[in-house]
Structure 1
Amino acid sequence: MGFARTCSVTLLGVEGVVVEVQADLEPGLAAFTLVGLPDKSLSESRDRVRAAIVNSGETWPQKKLTVGLSPASVPKGGSGFDLAVACAVLAANERIAPKDIADLMMIGELGLDGRVRPVRGVLPAVLAAAEAGYRHVVVPDRTAAEASLVPGVSVLGVRTLRQLIALLNDELAPEEADDPEEGRPDPMLAGLVVPGAGIGTGFADSPAPDLADVAGQGAARMALEVAAAGGHHLYLKGPPGAGKTMLAERLPGLLPPLTRQESLEVTAVHSVAGILPPGKPMVDIPPYCAPHHSATMQSLVGGGNALPRPGAVSLAHKGVLFLDEAPEFNGQALEALRQPLESGHVVIARSAGVVRLPARFLLCLAANPCPCGRHGSRGGGCDCTPSMIRRYQGRLSGPLLDRVDLRVDVEAVSRSELLGHLGESESTRTVAARVREARDRSAARYEGTPWRTNSEVPGHELRTRWPMAPGAMRPAEQDMERGLLTARGLDRVLRVAWTVADLGGHDRPDGVDMARALELRTGVRRGVAIAMGDI
């Protein structure tokens, strides 16, 4: 009889759970039993592991083999257990010493020829291993850089099972040919690069679009600056060709670079989704996700037949989620955004389990004023009936828009603005510097609290711990009495007013800051200019 154990990790969303892989050999009819609540892909590992061991020049044990995955109550899936199962079997068969693998964490898929292939979610798996006290992990060679992002963990990247066996036995590791799949583009990345290459996924090489390219649009540019400084959601409404998409593509460039902790959170989500390109394991700038309006609810908030995978709201975590032609999206998909907009995460329940995915993103909506797009435009010519316009605009529900802090009408650019703006508009670098200064002010104010941006602070906290200047709240209270603001809307205006004050260098918002915040929220003119440079 032989027994051996090692460890691997199963992922529930973006959180890893350490799994002990046990192998037991007993006399009897040759059979391979896998227990411990495996899914279909994991059950198929029996054939992969057998072929990989035999094709690596080792002998398959002709005994009764039982492999158990503990804890048995946790759902397990994927091909990342292959390497751990193979080594446990070899140790039970005394090909390698059981003590050498007892404290190793192993993650990787095995090909039938014994090659170790990369799997999704290596970063969150290694993070879970580190939290559980493991200090040595074995991963596919192509994901070793990703695993090395976790401090305090020694990472061994291997190309083949034969190479790992030699290293564990202190033998000379054989020379392995390059993997023919290495360097090929991942089919999962096809179509992922969205308009605005360079910011689409946070790691493209082309330069990000510059705000200096935008002609005119003073109010919209100011709204972009306020949105970036305070993390406020934004709604751009205007005719086709006015520059709504152009503005949204430049919003990520105004956001500060991700901190180390934020980079790990974002990279973990992208790793689970399988969209980290080879050679660039770390996402260090805010991601930008712009799904097509035909996207389903599952693709937006996450889902799947088994345990859910991240959707667009999670892929945009700590970055920007841009929904162009927002009224064309499925109504249920749009309404599903309401919960993550409030909480900063999404909880998805399926028969296989419940997962919690991060979703602290900045939402940017863009829409035409009517189906033809010419309602209210300078040139006129709208062919839509009033009922058509109402139905079109009604696709964005009141509860959803109530969670959007800034609403700006984007007018069509005039010929003089288009031809005369060269060299006059502020660049992304200039505006981003002001955004960083404003964020530094808010971070200093909220030091010692769980909040970092104004959009995260509950309204009652702002009213009690950080009161506004005397009389500054009166216009907002009057709008609430008129029905222009809900209680939620009042809190959001208060947050925007603090962001306006931070951009202006004020200790606390005054009446002018509140008037600007109300105008950005309701669109009602307050007699206060909100062009670039006025704050």
Structure 2
Amino acid sequence: MLAQVRSYALFGLDAVPVTVEVDVSPGLPSYALVGLPDKAVEESRERVRAALKNAGFPYPQARVVVNLAPAELKKEGSQFDLPIALGLLAAQGVVPLEALSPFALAGELGLDGSLRPIPGAVNLALGALAEGKKLLLPLESAKEAALVEGVEVYGVGHLEEAVAFFEGEAPLERARPEDPLEALEVLDLRDVKGQAKAKRALEIAATGYHHLLMVGSPGSGKTMLARRLPFLLPPLSREAALEVTRIHSAAGQPVRGLLKTPPFRAPHHTVSYAGLIGGGAIPKPGEVSLAHRGVLFLDEFPEFSREALEALRQPLEDGVVTIARARASLTFPARFLLVAAMNPCPCGWYGDPERPCACSPASRQRYVGKISGPLLDRFDLVVEVPRLTPQELAHAPEGEGTEAVRERVLRARERMLKRQGRPNGELSGKALREHVRLTPGAEALLLAAAKKMLLSARSFDRLLRVARTVADLQGAERVEEAHVAEALAYRKAL
């Protein structure tokens, strides 16, 4: 007898429909699994066999063929355990076929028949919504999938519950989203003593979505500043929150409620190319995508591999990262705010007024040279974060708190969105020229600075964007000389 069960394969961020066909026919006992399964899918044979027997259900002593269609699509993961098990039971007449047809199924089986959570539940729910299917998942995954409105999601903890549900003996309640995590504790800018210029750069970066590079000695506060940046950003809209949640779900990250706070990702400098950009046989999102709509913080910037750093250039410009494989090319969203921190030299003390630098000019040049010119050109703001002496720390005045700065950021962001529909950091081409209106004095200063500093066309545009953001923070309609001058102050040469 033939049974067909609907499921999904996660391909990038998309849930691709997969029909699990199970045929049980007379013959010598055998089991064949076809349809380009990976190792985890192939091993489902033993998990399903043990789960059925330990849960008290019959395993067919006959010729069994399981096909995962479409056959040309590579299948990976353990989410096909549940549809295969129920397909076997339906092919034996234990579960009615008509009860399975409105549903899509996914879940990993334990040897005792229990169901374990799977990655990508939000994505599977979006796939079920597109097809008009109901969805049956493990309990924890069902709570995650229920974040998607408009799809019926049910959760079960054991194979026996699923069988009883489809036999009509034990109805299930629709899954509800889990209560979101408590709001993160707001990290206050007041905790960072001094560093008024760096704090101002942080405010400008948050307002216009400008990439920021901080250069300073160890212990100067670079990491403290970076970790406070997400709390200056506006909260995510529901559409953006669902997009971010979808990425984290596909990557197997724990999801509890919609991720409404902009994400903050800080990978170690030993992260691999695939870990930073994304990759794998069937590519998974990397750190640049997990930081989508939020902040990607790269501490010890020159210590990252050259290959990984150069790969940042495309997502920094386009807001997406494309990973090509033999069978397909996948594109992941990656519109993040890049914040990087580095020492001025290998020992970290170049330019410090108290501690002498032990590095030779050649070693310092090699250290800074690890970052290519085209990549440095993509930073809108480059600021020095000097180390404060103990006396300066003790007597540093208390600066503004996060809430006060965030209010200014939100007001300026609202102004620019009303004017052009997007942050200044994303303006380019005709839109940049249209919305950045300079006074004659500001234009003269800008052209003189561009000539003296030998700015590239990209750097020139970035200077315009920063000046426009400074003007927005001050509520000015046109970009004036003072705004251009402040923007030029954030062009520290390395």
Unaligned runs of 5+ in 1: 175-201, 525-535
Matched, 1:518 2:488: yes
Out of 155-164 and 66-75, give the one that drifted further. 66-75
Matched, 1:276 2:276: no
Matched, 1:139 2:140: no
Matched, 1:297 2:273: yes
CA shift at 1:414, angstroms? 3.8
Matched, 1:503 2:481: no
Q: Deviations over 1:447-504 (max 9, x none)?
A: 4xxxx21111213321146543445333333333335311111111111122112111
CA shift at 1:392, angstroms? 1.0
Q: 1:256 and 1:417 mapped to 2: Cα distance?
A: 33
1:123 maps to 122
CA shift at 1:206, angstroms? 5.6
Give the SS at the match of 1:520: coil
Q: Deviations over 1:357-415 (max 9, x none)?
A: 22111111111111111111111411211111111111111111101110001112244
Q: Deviations over 1:201-230 (max 9, x none)?
A: x96866232101111111100000000011
8 A contact 1:144–1:157 mirrored in 2: yes
1:312 maps to 287
One-letter identity of the residue aligned with 2:16: V
8 A contact 1:36–1:69 mirrored in 2: yes
One-letter identity of the residue aligned with 2:209: G
Which of 422, 431, 435 is matched with 2:409 structurally? 435
One-letter identity of the residue aligned with 2:414: D
Q: How many residues get paired?
A: 487
Superposition RMSD in Å: 2.1
1:298–1:369 CA distance, 2 compared to 1 (3 A):
same
Ranges of 4+ aligned residues in structure 1 off by more than 4 Å? 202-206
Q: 1:170 and 1:131 mapped to 2: Cα distance?
A: 26
1:189 maps to none
1:180 maps to none
TM-score calculated relative to the size of structure 1: 0.87
Matched, 1:254 2:253: no
Matched, 1:345 2:320: yes
Matched, 1:369 2:344: yes
Q: How does 1:226-245 map to 2 (within 5 A)?
A: 226-245=204-223
8 A contact 2:28–2:63 mirrored in 1: yes
8 A contact 1:307–1:354 mirrored in 2: no
CA shift at 1:91, angstroms? 1.4
Which of 270, 285, 288 is matched with 2:264 structurally? 288
Q: 2:217 and 2:276 mapped to 1: Cα distance?
A: 25
Matched, 1:162 2:171: no
One-letter identity of the residue aligned with 1:171: E
Q: How does 1:25-44 map to 2 (within 5 A)?
A: 25-44=24-43
One-letter identity of the residue aligned with 1:161: L
8 A contact 1:118–1:143 mirrored in 2: yes
Q: 2:366 and 2:35 mapped to 1: Cα distance?
A: 52
One-letter identity of the residue aligned with 1:300: L
8 A contact 1:273–1:310 mirrored in 2: yes
CA shift at 1:173, angstroms? 7.3
8 A contact 1:225–1:254 mirrored in 2: yes
One-letter identity of the residue aligned with 2:473: L
8 A contact 2:233–2:406 mirrored in 1: yes
One-letter identity of the residue aligned with 2:449: D
Identity among equivalent positions (%) equals 47
Matched, 1:50 2:49: yes
Unaligned runs of 5+ in 2: 173-179
1:67 maps to 66
Q: 1:227 and 1:23 mapped to 2: Cα distance?
A: 55
Q: 2:78 and 2:404 mapped to 1: Cα distance?
A: 48
Q: How does 1:169-180 map to 2 (within 5 A)?
A: 169-172=167-170
Q: Deviations over 1:495-526 (max 9, x none)?
A: 112211211112232222222222223569xx
1:330 maps to 305
Which of 195, 198, 201 is matched with 1:217 structurally? 195
Q: 1:523 and 1:505 mapped to 2: Cα distance?
A: 29
